Amino acid sequence: MVRGLYTSGWSMLALNKKMDVLANNLANVSTTGYKKDTVVLEGFPKLLAERLHDNTGGTARGVPVGELSFSNDVGEVYTYFTQGTLLKTDNSLDMSIKDEGRAFFTVLVPGRGQFYTRDGSFKLNADGQLVTGQGYYVLGENGIIQLNGSDFTVTEDGTIIQNGAVVDRLLITQFQNPDSLRKNGENLFTASDNSVVENFTGTVMQNYLEQSNAEAIREMVDMIALLRSYEANQRVINVIDGTLDKAVNEVGRV
């Protein structure tokens, strides 16, 4: 009976974590190139339940008790890399990638290495180099991209043409498994050991920005469902507490 208390209690803790992730999605509905996170709740491993029951008097007896899972926890925070809506801005420095969400602009952060981003709201710095909003270098195939003013065109494969001459081609990194990327804040992602790079198959769109792919309606619905399931867990705890109350104060009365 007391186990039920912990089951529901733990479930409430997991829902707390889920709420944190939902709130982050909602806070970033206007962040360019943001990719929403979703929480996968997993049951506790059934292994744990079996071990508790298999032992009697210190000897493993292997009596099958049946499968049982106590509560759940956040198993994975999964990032949806689906394409966000493209917004036309008429600014030649705004770029976005149109694909299934696997390709990224490559960004060089001095002293910290290479990062990847879907946020193509680029700028020119005082030296005329193409940089991100934070001032990090946007990489081309030949390194940092040096431009002469903001009057240039970017073709669909990322080639930058200024005054009729090819300046460079944007270094776009496409991953076979974008779910191996980690978020870093500042709209940047880092690759992990599992990341596999493949050839770029999408298109680059100049004068467009990719909006956040967090959808307000979906997040609101998730939030309502979460609140209600949080409430239900509380009810269960209260009921168990009530039963305990009866057992302790009424059954035990002499």
Partner 1 sequence: MIRALYTASSGMKAMQFNVDTISNNLANVNTYAYKKERAEFEDLLYVTMERAYILENQGRPVNLQVGHGTVIRSVARDFTAGSLIQTENNLDFAIIGDGFFSVLHPSQNIYYTRDGSFKLSVTDEGTMLTTARGYPVLDEIGEPIYFDYPIDQIIINERGEISYKDEDGLIVPTGQRIGIFKFNNPQGLEAVGGNLYAENTASGFAVPDDEMGEPSTIRQGYLEASNVQVVEEMVNLITAQRAYELNSKAITTADEMMSIANNLKR
Alpha-carbon gap, residue 35 to 116, rounded angstroms: 13
- Helix H or strand E segment including 40: strand 37-43
Alpha-carbon gap, residue 146 to 163, rounded angstroms: 13
Among 53, 65, 78, 157, binds partner 1 (CB under 8 A): 78
Among 114, 159, 184, 203, binds partner 1 (CB under 8 A): 184
Among 66, 90, 111, 249, binds partner 1 (CB under 8 A): 90
Encoded one letter per residue, x for contact with partner 1 by CB under 8 A and - for no contact, window 132-161 reads: -xx-------------xxxx----------
The CB-of-84 to partner 1 minimum distance in angstroms stands at 13
Sheet of strand 165-169: strand arrangement: 153-154, 159-162, 165-169
Closest to partner 1 by CB, 79 or 206: 79
Q: Which stretch binds partner 1 (CB under 8 A): 60-68, 71-79, 106-114, 166-174?
A: 71-79
Structure tokens at 203: 């298109």
Size of the site for partner 1 (CB under 8 A): 68
Closest to partner 1 by CB, 39 or 204: 39
DSSP-derived secondary structure for 189-203: EE--TT--EE---SE
- Helix H or strand E segment including 241: helix 216-246
φ/ψ of residue 56, rounded to 5: -130, 120
Contact call for residues 35 and 118 (beta carbons, < 8 A): yes
Q: Which stretch binds partner 1 (CB under 8 A): 55-63, 108-116, 164-172, 173-181?
A: 173-181
Residue type, 249: N
Alpha-carbon gap, residue 200 to 172, rounded angstroms: 7
Closest to partner 1 by CB, 91 or 114: 91
Among 166, 221, 241, 248, binds partner 1 (CB under 8 A): 241
Q: How many other C-beta atoms can be found within 10 angstroms of the C-beta atom of residue 215?
A: 14
Which residues of this protein are in contact with partner 1, per CB under 8 A?
12, 15-17, 19-24, 26-32, 34, 37, 45, 73-79, 89-91, 119, 121, 123-128, 133-134, 148-151, 163, 179-187, 192, 194, 216, 219-220, 223, 226-227, 230-231, 234, 237-238, 241
